[in-house]
Each structure stands twice: as C-alpha cells, then as structure tokens.
Structure 1
Amino acid sequence: MNTNHTDTNQMQEQEIDLIELFYKLLVHWRWFLLAAVVALAGAYIYVHVATPIYQATASVVIKDSEGSNKAIDELFQKVAPSSLTSANTQIEDEMEILRSRSILLQVINELNLHTKYKVKDGLFYNETTTPPIIASMDKASMDTLSGTLLIQVEKAGERYAVSSALDDICVTETFTGFPAFIETPAGRCTLRLLPGHQFSEAIKISICRPIDAVNDYSGQLVVTTTSKKTSIISLTFKDTDKDRAEAFLVKLIEVYNRDAMDDKNKVTGNTLIFLEERLDSISNELGFVEKHLEQYKQKERLSDLKTNMTLDLNTNNEYEKKLLDVEMQLNMTNYIYNYLSDDKHRFSLLPVNTGIADTELVQLINEYNKELLERERLMNTMKADNPTVVNQDIRIDALRRNVVSSVVGVKDGLSIARTDILRKTDYFNSRIGNMPKQEREFNNIDRQQQIKANLYLMLLERREQAAISLAATMNKARVIDAPLSADRPIAPRSMMIYAGSLFLACAMTAGVILFGGIFRTKIMSVAEVESTQIPVMGIIPYTKEGGGVEEGQNGIMEESFRRMRSNLRFLTEDGDKKCILMTSTISGEGKSFISINLALTFAFLGCRVLVVGLDIRRPRLAEYFRIKSHVGMTSYLSDNEIKPEDIIFPSGVHEQLFVAPAGPIPPNPAELLERARLKEAFAYFREQFDYIIVDSAPVGLISDTLSLSKVTDFTLYVCRMNYTHKNVLSEIVEIQRSGQLNQISLVVNGGNLAEKKYGYGYGYGYSYGYRDTHKKHK
C-alpha cells in the first residue's frame, strides 16, 4: 500500500516538473519567436541561393555468357554449351566494372565532362551545358594538367579577348574570329563557335584532368542491386543539370556494353585464328592418310572389304573408338602445351571449347583469358611498369604455370588411358590374329583416316560456332528502365530545411534556457532553493521602480510581504514565539531591506513591532531611520546603567514601528553578544512588543549571528537571485542539520513574479524605500 502511495507521489512530482519545464520555456516565448524568424530567414536564403541537385535513375539486367549464346546452343545441340565468351560472372563483379575508373574515364572523355562552361547572366556566371563555344585540348596536355585550367572569353569591340590561368600563371591575348587557337599555360587550346550560335556574353571555361573528373563524378554515381536474388542493377546519378545526368547514365550503359562486346569478340577472334591454323594442319594430315589408303588399295588391288566381325572384333571396335577419342584429346593437349611453351604467345588468348573433356583445365583456360583481358584494359590507361600492371603480369604468369601444369597432368592421364586401351586392343587383336593381313593393314590405315576426319569435322563445327558468336552482337546489359530525371530537384529540400531549421532554432533556444545556467555559480531560480527541502517563507519580487511597502497600497511588493506575513503569523500562533531572526550569507543580499519592510507589514495590522539592530560590526539601522542618538544595543550590553527602554526609538515611519539600533561598533562584538544582559533585553522586548525582528550580521562572514539563537524563535535566511552563490545552499542545509539556528526558513529576494515559481529574472535592483516613505509620513 505504501509502495503505491510512493509511486503516486513520484508521478505527481514528475507531472509537476513537466509543468514547471513548460512554463519555464513559455515565459521566454519572445526568444523562441526571434529564433524562429532568424532560422526561417536563413533557411529561405539558403533554399533560394543553393544550386539545385537533380537525380537520374535507370535499371538494367545483366545477362550471363551462357544466356547470350542460346542461339548457338540450339544450332549445335550435340556440342556442350558454348564457353567462347567470358565465363559467368557474379553480379558484384559487374557492379564493380560499372564503377571502375576505366569505364568512367571513357564516359568523361566522350561527353567532355572534364570541361565546364559558365555564361555571364547579369552580375553572376551560371553554369550551362549548351554553351555557344566549345574548348578542346589534346589528350596529352589534359593528362599533364597540374590543376584546373581557367579560361575567360569576352567580346572587346570587334575582337575577342581571352585570358587563361593555371598555377598563378596568367596568359592574355586577343583574336578576331572563330575557330581560334590560343596559347595557355597548359598548352594550345582550340575555341570553336557552334553552328547556329552567336557569342554575345562573356563565358568562363574550366578544364581539369579527366582522371580528376572521374574522381568527382564517381562520388555522384550509385550502383546497387534491387534484390540479392536478381541480376537487375539500379543506377543512380546526381548532378546540377538533369539533362547531363540522363546523358551520363545513357553513355555509361553504352560504354559498358561496348566494352563487354569487345572482350567477347577478342576471345572469339583468337579462337577463330586457332581453329583456322588447326584446320589447315589437319587438312594436310587427312590428305596424306587418304593418299596412303588410296595407294594401299591400288597395291593390294582392293576395292571393298566386307567381313562379318565376330564378338571379339566388335569389342575391339569399341576400344578402338575410345582410342580414337583419347588420341584426339591427346593431340589437342600436345598442341596447347606447345602453344603455351612458345614465348611469343605469352600474352595471347588461349583457345576455348577445343573438345578437351577435363573441366578443370577448361576453367583454368577461361580464368587465364579473363586475366589477359583485364591486362589489356589496364594497358589502355597505364604503362607496363605501373605496379598494377606488374601485379597483373605476376597473376597471369602464375595462372599460365597452373595451366601448363594442368595440361601436363591431363596429357599424362590421357597417355595412361591410351596405354591401357592399347593393351586391351592388343589382347583382342591377338584373338583375331587369324584375320587376313590385308584386313589388318587396311583397318590400321582406315582408323588413322577416321581419327583425322573426326578431328577435322569437329574443328569445322567449332569454327562455324565461333563465327556465329562473333556475328551475334547482343548487349550484355539490357535496359529495363531508360535513364530519367525527375522534374523536381532532390536538393535542397525546402520543406525539410524549413522544418529542420525551425526545430534546431527551438531546440537551441530551449537548450540555452534550460542549460544556460549550468556554468553559472549564482542561484538562478526558486527551484534551486526549494531543492534544499527547507521551507520557503516568501518571495520578494524584483521591481524596476525599487521602493518598499506602503500602507493602503496593493502593489506586487505589498502583496509579497503580506503573504510572507501570513506565513509567519501561522508559525507564531503558539505561545510566546514572536522573535524573528533575519540573516543571510554575505552582505548585500537584502537582509535589512526585508527586515524593515516586513516590520512595516506587521505594523500595518496594528501590531507593535520592534526592529533590533544586532549587526554590530556594520550597523545601518540608525542611518536608515535617521536616528541621531548613538545609544544602541552595544551601549546597553556594555553599560549596566542603561535600561532597555533607553535604546528604543520611534521609527518615524509608522506609529506602531520602533527601532533598537545597534549602537557604536564595539572592540569585542562576539564577547558582547554572549553577555546575560542580552537575554534580559529580549525578555523586556517580548513584554512590550507583539513582534521582534532582529537584523543580524551575515552568518557566512562572522559567527555573531549563531549566538542569537538563544534569544530568537525563528530564522529567516535571505537568498538573493543572481547574487547568492549556489554552494551556499548546502551550507544552509548543514546549519539546519546541526541546529545552530532555530527553525530556519528561506526568503528569496529578487524574484521575477511574472515568471511565477517556474523561473526568475536575471536582473536585480531594490532600495530600502525608507526615505520617500519617511517624507510622506513626516
């Protein structure tokens, strides 16, 4: 039950804190309004000054190498699926190719994106993609640029003035018409006027290295996949000109398809050359075998052999077929081995789809061809001694050794298979040894003919297949969605900028209000005072006019003291508790001001009130009330002949208000306050007055006030806003815990009641208000 009660209290406290936070922010609504206006103005300027950014998007589907040769596979169903083009590649590889510098460099050069034009429009120069003139330089000059070449062309009467600058070197010259050949710090540049255009306004041209343009544009290109399970690639490009963004993606797809087609045609072309060479060789060998067969038939006078082959002969024929196949493959592996061993073919592509049944060797050949193609692509933009090309050569040599090793292994395996087949054919030949010698010799010659004929036919099929593949120009990337830019720019987003700036302005303003006081050492709000858990007896407002309370008035100052008076009357209802000690931490916190005005507030009720000055080190009450007598509390405590009634004087402000000033400053104030006559005086005061308010010294400086707890009933501790240090609060709590002062309550001086309890002003000002009031009552 107690737990539920505690949770309810915590929820109420949290709710109160939120309300307090709301009102603390609400009172500063002018700050929020000003911050919002400034933020929206800045956002408006940014939105209208910033260059708009457009985004073009396109999507393509990547077709693998097998899918691109379906027509060939249908024509040659007996042949394995074609591997004449590059092997299947992962979609990630194709994405990297689309982002590669070699592809982007071709796009930059073909679209001339390394050159930008700005035409003068009023006081400013605006970038354009359709300038009246174009500037061009040779490739070598652009590749050696050390920075951006700036060219400005303007019309000067009947001539044209042109100035160019690069690395603090400026060249100026004039010419009469277009085309013009001008000398720049980077070399000769040609200016041509486009057909149908006229040169009227000045134009600025900036030319950078193509590779630098690649670095700039690569950051604006985004290549992603629509899904991990598909081969569809999404292309996104951002640019300040939407037509240029679309043209970039169109050219990127075109260059990618062209590059892939060139790679495929290189492999196919090298395969055709290899097949033509083998066809010539096999044709000669086949002619020799056929000539030999013709001569044998003429010699032996044979026209046709028809024999009934036994089961042994049929079996022997099966092994002979296997022998044909093995010898054909062995012949091909020997040729590839010799081809690899020749240094003049070091960077030549190897033939593929040659009929070799070993899949590992075929895969190695495909990988070797792929690395050779990559080297050719690198050599287009780099030199042979470039570390990237050298590393590529190392990989190619390693792959070449692997291919040679694999060819040797395949050849050894085929030799073993051939030996085994020959052993079995010899076995069956021994069983048919009774066959005529002529038949055996004829079969031997016929077998050689069949080997050469089968190999010749296979090479013819491969040549036709390669020719069809070379003629089939199917793009590797098929466009699904053509490049298209939205009419509205993607940046700057005006609504998001307005909302973001407004949010940041409000957040920063709230942060300044809520956390601006973290680094302050002074008390800034009543909440800090209330955190001590010591009762707050009253809040005295800050007013620009200053002044104290006046009888019959209902101002904010009078109402504040009346509320504090009501709180004190509630505490003093019991018995003889009527003596109130007024103190503070340091001088200047308004202790005397509150003492005088609180006493006046009690006097307005008709109560006899005495203000006792016990700040005997710095007495001020006699000055405030214009009491000319020098007799006071110190006189009474040091002279036994002076009576309590001798040190009580009328205030001159109100007939019910009296003053017992401090008197002369003694040499031993601390010891003086410890005398027994102090209790006697306060016993007399309690008999004669309804309330006694003691204006004492600050407790943070001296210990005199702590001696007064024996003659007072309550303690009002004054804290002044933006004046009292925060660490004082912990000292007050310690004084209350130790019981050095009686029933401590706090009084907050200098609060801004316009902010109620949720926040207080930073300004402070007050006056005792005695002189004006005294004049009124005088």
Structure 2
Amino acid sequence: MTPQSKNTSSLREQLDKYFTNWKWFTLSLFICFTVAFIYLRYATDTYKVAATIKIADSNKQNINREANTVNDYGLFKREQNSVLDEIQVIGSRSIITSVVEELNLNIQCFIQGSIKELEIYKNPPLTINFLENDSILKYVDTSITLNVISKSQFTFKNSDRTLNFGDNISMPFGNLVFTPNFVQPELKVGKSITVKIRPIKKVASHYNEKIKITSTDVNSSIINLTLEEPVTEKGVDILNELIEQYNKIAIENKNAVVKATSDYINNRLAIVQQELSEVTQSSETIQQSNRLTDLSSQSSIFLQTERDIENQQIATSTELQVVEYLSDYLDENSGNGEIIPSNMSFQDNSTTSLIQKHNDLVMQRNRYLENSSEKNPVVVRLDAQIEKLKQNLSASLDNLISSNQIKLENLNKEENRISSQIYSAPKKQRIFRDLERQKGIKESVYVYLLQKREESAVSHGVSSPNAIIVDSAYASTLPIWPKKEILFLGAFVLGLLIPLTTIYLLDLLDNKVRTKAGLTKELSIPFIGDVPKSSTKQVFIDRHDYSPKAESFRLIRTNIDFMLSNVTKSKGKTIFVTSTTSKEGKSHTSLNLARSLSFSNKKVLIIETDIRVPKLNKYMGVENKTGLGLTNYIIDDKINFNDIINKVDDNLDMISSGTIPPNPAELLMDDKMEVLFNAVKNKYDYIIVDTAAVGLVTDTLLISKFADMVIYVVRANYLDKRQLHVAQTMFDEKRLPNMVTLLNGVIHKKGYGYGYGESPKKKRKLFSK
C-alpha cells in the first residue's frame, strides 16, 4: 500500500467514526437549535445608542473681538487641546452621577408582559412620591412588586394585605405614596408592577462601565459616545444629558476664572484711581499757585528727545507698576486655589508662561477637589507643583521689578542730562512737567485696567460650551443583541462541536481494540481476518448459512489454505487457537473454524488442550460416551488415541480435555502429546487445537512446537490495547510458529456486508446500543 493510499484510508477511518454516529449529531443540533429559539423568545433586545461631539479649541472660538480679548489673559489658552483628558472628564463619576440624579435612573418601573418583564421608562403606569429626604433615597436598595387588584387597590407580592392607591405607606426606608395612571395601556387590573430602587452610586458605577467614550484619532478632537441599552429612549436621554452636564461644568469653570480676573482688576482700579486723583490735584495746585502755562518753545531737537525719553519712562513705569501689583496679589493670595491674571503685556515671555502653567494646574486641582479631598495624592502632588511655580513666578517678578527700576533710573539720568541743556526752562515748570508725566502714567494704567475690565465682562456673558454637538444621541433601529444569525450559527457550530468533541475525547481515551485498523496499527503481526458480532443467539454456523459470520469464517478458511500452502499435503495441518485472556472467543473461533473446514469435505479434528477450564463439550452439546479425554490418554498408557475421539458431525471429530488434573502443565509436556499429534496428522486433514490463553498460563507455549499455524484471537471492544504487547512479544521472539491475528466480535456499521444470502429483517431503532 502506497503512503498516499494509507493516508486516504486513515482519513476515511477517522471520518467514519463521526459519520456512523450521525444520529447523535442530529440530536445535538436539535437540542442546540431549540435552546437558541427559546433564548431568542425570552431574551431582552439590546440597542446601540450613539452620539458624536467635537471638543472646541478655545483659541479658535472667534465669536467676536471682545470674547477673544479674554484670551489675552491666558486663562483659556492651551498649547494643545488634550482630547484624552476631556474623555476622562466626560466619563468621570461626578458627571455620570449628576446624570443619574437628573434623570432619576436609580428608580425603574417594570411591568410583567405575556412573555417577559418590560421596563416602562417614560410615562410610567405608576408614580412614586417619596415623603422622605432625598439624601436617604440615594442609598436605598430594594425591589417592590405590586399586584393591581382594582383601579383603587393593590397588594404587595407575598402579602394578602389590601392597600389603597394614594395612601401613605410606611416602608423600611421611609414613607411613600403610589399613584396609578390607568390612562397608560400597560396598567390593567390583574397586572403586576415591579419598582426597583437602587443606590445612586451603584447605578452611576453601572453606567460608568457601560458608556464607552472614544476618540476617532489621536490628533482628532472628535469624540464618540456609545451605550448599549434595552430602552432606546432611556439611552438617548442618558447620552444627551451627559453632554449637557459636561458643558455645564465647563462653563462654570470658565466663569469662575473670569470672575477672579474681574475682582482683581476692580481692586487695582480703585488703587490707581486714588493715585491719579492725588497727582491731578497736585498738578492743579502748582499750576494755580505759580500761574504756569504751557512750556515755551525750545530747541526742537532737545524737546523731541525729551519727549521720547518721557514716553519710555511712561511705558517702563506702567510695566513696573503692573508687575508690582501682580507681585502684591501673589503675596496676598497665598492659597493654591487662586487663579493669577495673566498676559498683562510683559516684555518677558517666561513670566507669562509661568502664570499660564500656574493657572492650568489650579484649574486641574479644583476639578479634582470636586470629587475628592485635599488629602488626595493627586491634589497633594498638584499643590506641590503649584507652590514650586509660585516660587519661580515670585523670583521672575522680582527680576522684572529690578530690571525695570534700572531701566527707569537710566532714563531719568538721560532726562536730567537733556534737561540741563534746556537752560531757559524754569525750575517750577520742570516740577510741573514731572507732575504731568506722573499723571500721564497713572492715566495710562487706569485706561488699561478699564479696558481689561470691559473685556472680562464681555467674556463672562459669552462663555461657550466645550462640547459642540456633531450628532445628537440616536438609537439603532435594529437590536444589536440578540442576533438571530449569530445565535443560530453558534447553535449550529455548538451542535456539531459537542458530539464531535465527545467522540474525539472518547476515542482519545478509548483503550480497547475495536477495528481491524486499530489492531493492525498496534501490531505488526499478519492479520488473517475478522469475525463480526452476531445479531442472533446462534453460536455455530451451518452448512447453508450465508450470514456475515459464516462468510467471515469461509474467508478465514481460504486465507489459512493460502498461508499453509507450503505444508506437506500428505499430513494434516495443525492450527492452534489462543488468546491473551479468557472470554475472547477462542473456543468459539475454534469450533466455527473447524465446522467451516469440515463443510469443504475435509476431515477435521478439534482438540481441547485448555484442560484447566474446558468448555467445548458445553458449547457443542456433544456427549462423551466413554468419559475419556486428553488427560486420560496421557495418564493411562492403556488408552489408545482412537478411544478418546468423539464424532461431532460429518467430517468433524473432537477430543475433549478429559478429567481436570492438578498438574496440567506437566501433563502437556508428556511425550505422548507428540505421539498423539503424529497420529492424528496421518488421519485428518486439519487439526484445530483450542489452547489456553497465553497471557495467563504457559500451557500453549509448551505444545506450540506441534503447530503449523497459531491463530491469536483478539476480541473487539473487550481487550485493552495495553495487553497487546503480549502478542507482539510472542511474535517478535518467534515463540509461536506462523502466528496470525484474528479480530473477533467486530461491530460492523451500516454499509458492511458480504452481499450473499438473506437475513431476517428487524425493526430499526433510532439510537441502538
């Protein structure tokens, strides 16, 4: 047999294991499809609800010029809008808790339908009015089932007490009132209504896990929100409310920043206004007391230079005062929750950057404090970062003050040099000019602060939400689960997989010899044939028997003739029949093989050498008239071998075992055994010897030298594969001559048969043993 044909045969054998068990596949598929149908019948449909938003970039919100000026403070600026941070904020427990409280998601109303329990979300058939404090209801976890017995009365489940709708009913967690709404078609007399109240935190945790918030891309500001919910209206309301709560908190945070800036500017305005009033009053006093008018014309070059210096002095003094005001503000507000106004037109960009970073950290700290305490490790770490930034900012402001003071001192020196050259300018006029310069500085600072206050007021009125709605929440028209196609496909796969796996595992764990392929795979001994298990109680085959069992022995008879063709034809051929253990059918095989050979007009003698447990007389029902057998012949020299031969049928004789001796092995070693075999070989064509099992005793090995062939019987579905090594060892060591194997009791499935003869028809069962 070629390797390709071996592989094909092996594959066919593997497939046959499953095809022959098609009934179990059919039953498994039927059960799995039935379970899938029942699940579809009673399962609750789940729909997908989705919404899409875009996180707005505050640097690009050009609503109007006034709103953009708020960004000059640096309060809303971001170097890069972190969408991942906003995803965490949207899905935070605090915002989802607000959604649960706003929509009363901790209270659910269910009504029993004809098949399953249904949740009624909007316009429930029953309204519950709690008479207790809302803070208590946040922690209630209970389920209440009402049986409506009339339009005015109801009973609780497992209770015979009749109650009226509208009555004040005392419950373990407080008093409440049930008000029915019989306008709703769901509420009918005889219906059961279940109200489930759960703790708000528990419900918030549930939706915190169910709501999925994802970004379409790392660099994209688009965020997708999805939720799987049995009630579509409920899912839509949850996502819409989630977006609304997020925008509400974002606007509140922005307004808080603007208010802090406005308060700071108002405080600075009051101080500058007082200083400007004092300078103006001093200027008026000097002018009135000295009767001074405008300065006389001077040399155009000196005057222009002086004016340039004055402008630089004003600008430097203005920046110096703003820096000093900001330094004072930083000293006065030592807490970590205060926002510092930024972008006050400093020439030093590093200071502006430090203020921006400080404000970002303060806003992040305040956001965490909404859901935790100041002892939170994240808040403590942010406090440390804010304190460090304050120290750096204070040092930066001190440097700015020093540099501006030096610059101002240099400008004053330059002004004195120019002023000394204006020899015609009176001293009092110079004093007046100094006062005017101070007045100009104060006015410039005052106008600057007024402008910023107006910009802050405008920004407070036009605060825009962080989330721009791209797609409002919407629900899928078809349920995402359960899906019939997937369930029935899964049922089909499982229906095939269960018997497939079971058969495979049983085959994997199977340690019995069952088929010719299994036997020849384990042994390298020649195979002479197999005998099918008979479907009747008939033990022996008949001359005109054409059953599969009879045909199998005819085939074995032919194979024996072929294998023993080299044996001398003038003498009979001796065939031993043995097995590993008892009950493998060696006696049954010996008898039927002997009968099959006798049907071919050959003289056949069957000798029973299994003198420990003799069975042939019992099987054949032959009467031993003399009462003598093999053991009697060996013990008593007066007995001739012809005296122990009993006729069974035409061409078939038998020598039974005789009296059971205490020393069977020693008897079989007697020289008279050789005399017996030599004698019967001259008289019979075939001598069939029913021997003892070689796996139990050595009797067969003692007389194996007289055999021309040894048929080693292996009973299918009985012998453990681990015992086959006995037969293989015998073959390898050549302890049994011309050894072949025969598989007995094979169960042939549909399709097996010899095609000859007729057998009685039987009623078929779906699942036969």
Q: TM-score range by the shorter chain?
A: 0.7 to 0.9
Does 2:493 align with 1:503? Answer: yes
Indicate which of 216, 230, 237 corresponds to 1:247: 237
Q: Which of 243, 259, 267 is matched with 1:277 structurally?
A: 267
Q: Give SS of 1:488's match.
A: coil
- 1:28 correspondence with 2:21: yes
Query: In the alignment, is the contact (CA less than 8 A) between 2:67 and 2:455 conserved in 1?
Result: no
Q: When the two structures are aligned, how many residues end up with a matched partner?
A: 731
After TM superposition, the structure 1 stretch with the greater mean CA deviation from structure 2, 350-359 or 610-619, is 350-359
In structure 2, the partner of 1:769 is none
Structure 2 residue aligned with 1:647, among 637, 644, 648?
Answer: 644
Partner of 1:417: 403
- Structure-2 residue corresponding to 1:394: 380
Which whole-Å CA distance do the structure 1 matches of 2:132 and 2:212 have between them? 28
2:654 — aligned with what?
659
**For 1:108-187, what aligned pairs fall within 5 Å after superposition?**
108-121=100-113, 125-129=117-121, 130-137=123-130, 140-141=133-134, 143=136, 148-157=141-150, 159-161=152-154, 163=156, 174-175=163-164, 177-178=165-166, 180-187=167-174
Q: Give the letter for the 2:110 counterpart.
A: K
**Of residues 658, 675, 686 in structure 1, which corresponds to 2:681?**
686
Q: Residue by residue, what CA displacement relative to the aligned partner does 1:8-34 show, whole Å, maximum 9, x if unpaired?
A: 955443332222111111111111111
1: distance between equivalents of 2:104 and 2:160? 24
Q: Distance in 2 between matches of 1:348 and 1:139?
A: 39
Query: CA–CA distance in 1 between the matches of 2:161 and 2:288?
Result: 93
Give me the whole-angstrom Cα distance separating, in 1, the residues matched to 2:547 and 2:466: 89
Alpha-carbon shift at residue 636 of structure 1 (Å): 2.8
- The aligned amino acid for 1:535 is P
Match status 1:740 vs 2:726: no
- Using the TM superposition, give the Cα deviation of residue 573 of structure 1 relative to its aligned residue in structure 2, in angstroms: 1.1
Aligned partners of 2:575 and 2:711 also within 8 Å: yes
Distance 1:273 1:714 in 2: 117
Task: For residue 238 of structure 1, report the CA deviation from its aligned partner.
Answer: 0.9
Residue 325 of structure 2 corresponds to 332
Q: Where do 5+ consecutive residues of structure 2 fail to align? A: 754-769
Going from structure 1 to structure 2, the CA distance change for 1:450 and 1:539 (only over 3 Å counts) comes to farther
Post-superposition offset of 1:594: 0.7
SS at 1:616 equivalent:
coil
Q: 1:162 to 1:186 in 2, by over 3 A?
A: farther
Alignment of 1:2-401 (within 5 A): 9-69=2-62, 71-72=64-65, 76=69, 81=72, 83-85=74-76, 87=78, 89-121=81-113, 125-129=117-121, 130-137=123-130, 140-141=133-134, 143=136, 148-157=141-150, 159-161=152-154, 163=156, 174-175=163-164, 177-178=165-166, 180-193=167-180, 197=184, 200-201=188-189, 202-305=192-295, 307=298, 308-310=300-302, 313=306, 316-317=309-310, 320=313, 323-341=316-334, 347-356=337-346, 357=349, 358-375=351-368, 377-378=370-371, 390-391=376-377, 394-395=380-381, 397-401=383-387
1:61 touches 1:478 (CA, 8 Å); kept in 2?
Answer: yes
Unaligned runs of 5+ in 1: 1-7, 379-385, 759-778
Could you report, residue by residue, the CA deviation over 1:344-401 in whole angstroms, capped at 9, with x for unpaired residues? x6644443444454133222332243135315532xxxxxxx6576546534643442
Look up the match of 1:623: 618
* Residue 193 of structure 1, CA deviation: 4.9
SS in 1 for 2:544: coil
1:663-700 Cα deviation digits (max 9, x unpaired): 22222221222233322322222222222221100111
C-alpha displacement of 1:218: 2.1
Aligned mates of 1:352, 1:684 — CA distance in 2: 128
Distance 1:553 1:392 in 2: 95
What fraction of aligned residue pairs are identical, expressed as a percent?
26
Structure-2 residue corresponding to 1:776: none
Partner residue, 1:574: 566
Query: How far apart, CA to CA, are the structure 2 residues paired with 1:333 and 1:74?
Result: 23
Match of 1:557 in 2: 549
Distance 1:206 1:616 in 2: 83
Cα–Cα, structure 1 residues 630 and 197, in superposed 2: closer, same or farther, change >3 Å? Answer: closer
What is the Cα deviation at residue 271 of structure 1? 1.8
Amino acid at match of 2:163: T
Q: Which amino acid aligns with 1:105?
A: T
* Residues 315-372 of structure 1: CA deviation (Å, up to 9, x unaligned): 745753562354034223223223313xxx6644443444454133222332243135
Letter aligned with residue 461 of structure 1: Q
Aligned-pair CA distance for 1:474: 2.6
TM-score when scaled to structure 2? Answer: 0.88
Partner SS state of residue 474, structure 2: strand
* 2:589 counterpart of 1:594: yes
The answer to whether structure 1 residue 534 and structure 2 residue 529 are counterparts is: no
Residues 556, 411 of structure 1: CA spacing in aligned structure 2 closer, same or farther, 3 A cutoff? same
Q: Tell me the equivalent position of 1:515.
A: 505
Letter of the structure 2 residue corresponding to residue 471 of structure 1: G
1:571 to partner: Cα distance = 0.7
Of 146-155 and 597-606, deviating more is 146-155
Correspondent of 1:718 among 698, 713, 717: 713
Residues 171/672 of structure 1: CA separation in 2 closer, same or farther (3 Å cut) = closer
Aligned-partner Cα distance in 2 for 1:438–1:579 = 156
Between the aligned partners of 2:2 and 2:73, the Cα distance in structure 1 is 82
Equivalent residue, structure 2, for 1:408: 394
2:756 maps to which residue?
none
Report matched runs for 1:744-763 at 5 Å: 744-754=739-749
Q: Which residue of 1 aligns with 2:632?
A: 635
Q: d(CA) in 1 for partners of 2:74 and 2:630? A: 118
Question: 1:128-148 deviations in whole A, cap 9, x for unaligned?
Answer: 113122224378555566652
- For 1:714 and 1:73, how far apart are their aligned partners in 2? 115
Q: Secondary structure at the match of 2:74?
A: coil
Secondary structure, counterpart of 2:479 in structure 1: coil
SS at 1:699 equivalent: coil
In 1: Cα distance, 2:727 partner to 2:550 partner: 27
Is 1:457 aligned to residue 447 of structure 2? yes
Aligned partners of 1:72 and 1:468 also within 8 Å: no
Please give the alpha-carbon distance, in whole angstroms, between the structure 1 residues aligned to 2:728 and 2:387. 89
Match of 1:764 in 2: none
Q: Residue deviations 1:398-441, cap 9 Å, x none?
A: 34423431332122211331243144325424533514445653
Instruction: For residues 470-491 of structure 1, give each alpha carbon's deviation from its aligned partner in whole angstroms, at most 9, with x where no partner exists.
Output: 2224322112222111221111
